[in-house]
């Protein structure tokens, strides 16, 4: 009988929750569907998602225009199996039993869509590897 439980939950964290973490959440939701629970947050959330990030994601068929930056909460970290930070430094709380990954990615803030495309593509590559890792853990 198929299970409806998610394989894992992932929280993406960057400072403004407007670019990198939103693109990562968009890719993970798009590529993994509802198999993986996806959250994103920022230590100092911006007013809106970076328009260049929205445009870059639209080019690959993923709409993140309806997302809004959210503040990082302790509860979000506690509820996640994976916590992936993208330049938020010491603002991310650490809890035992979580898998922490730090992805060093350029900040797309203030950059045009041309500069955001390579960041988007690097995020997609990392998301595909993350899904493979989560799937491998589920099978073991």
pLDDT digits (tens, 9 = 90+) for 96-125: 888 999 999 999 999 999 999 999 999 999
Give the residue from 81, 113, 112, 116 showing the smallest Cα distance to 96.
81
Residue 4 within a domain: no
Domains held by the chain: number: 1
Res 62 pLDDT > 70: yes
Number of Cα atoms under 13 Å in the Cβ half of residue 82: 25
More reliable by pLDDT, 42 or 4:
42
- Could you tell me the residue range of the domain that residue 89 belongs to? 9-139
Q: Is 14 a catalytic residue?
A: yes
Q: What is the pLDDT of residue 5?
A: 63
Beta carbons of 67 and 49 less than 8 angstroms apart: yes
Instruction: Report the CATH number at residue 134.
Output: 3.40.50.2300
Active-site residue, selected from the candidate residues 88, 105, 119, 123: 88
Residue 2 above 50 pLDDT?
A: no
Nearest of 56, 22, 64, 62 to residue 42 by alpha carbon: 22
Which pLDDT belongs to residue 55? 98
Residue 1 lies in a domain: no
Kindly name the residue from 18, 92, 119, 123 that is annotated as catalytic.
Answer: 92
How would residue 23 be classed by pLDDT, with cut points 50, 70 and 90?
very high
Total-model pTM: 0.91
Predicted confidence at residue 53, as pLDDT, reads 97
Q: Is residue 2 part of a domain?
A: no
Q: Is 103 a catalytic residue?
A: no
Predicted pLDDT at 3: 46
Q: What is the mean pLDDT of residues 81-110?
A: 84
Is residue 90 predicted with pLDDT exceeding 80? no
- Residue 95 confidence (pLDDT): 78
Reduced to 3 states, what is the DSSP secondary structure of residue 85? Answer: strand
Which residue among 14, 18, 49, 72 is the active-site one? Answer: 14
90 occurs within a structural domain: yes
Tell me if 64 is assigned to some domain.
yes
């Amino acid at each position: 009988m198929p299970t409806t439980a998610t394989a894992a939950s992932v929280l993406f964290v960057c400072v403004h929750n407007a670019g990198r973490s939103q693109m990562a959440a968009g890719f993970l939701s798009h590529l993994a569907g509802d198999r993986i629970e996806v959250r994103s947050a920022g230590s100092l959330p911006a007013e809106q998602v970076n328009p260049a990030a929205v445009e870059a994601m639209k080019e690959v068929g993923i709409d993140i225009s309806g997302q809004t930056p959210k503040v990082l909460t302790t509860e979000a970290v506690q509820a996640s199996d994976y916590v992936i930070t993208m330049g938020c430094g010491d603002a991310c709380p650490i809890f035992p039993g979580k898998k922490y990954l730090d992805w060093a990615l350029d900040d797309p803030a203030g950059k045009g869509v041309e500069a955001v495309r390579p960041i988007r593509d690097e995020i997609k590559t990392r998301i595909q590897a993350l899904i493979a890792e989560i799937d491998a853990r589920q099978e073991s």
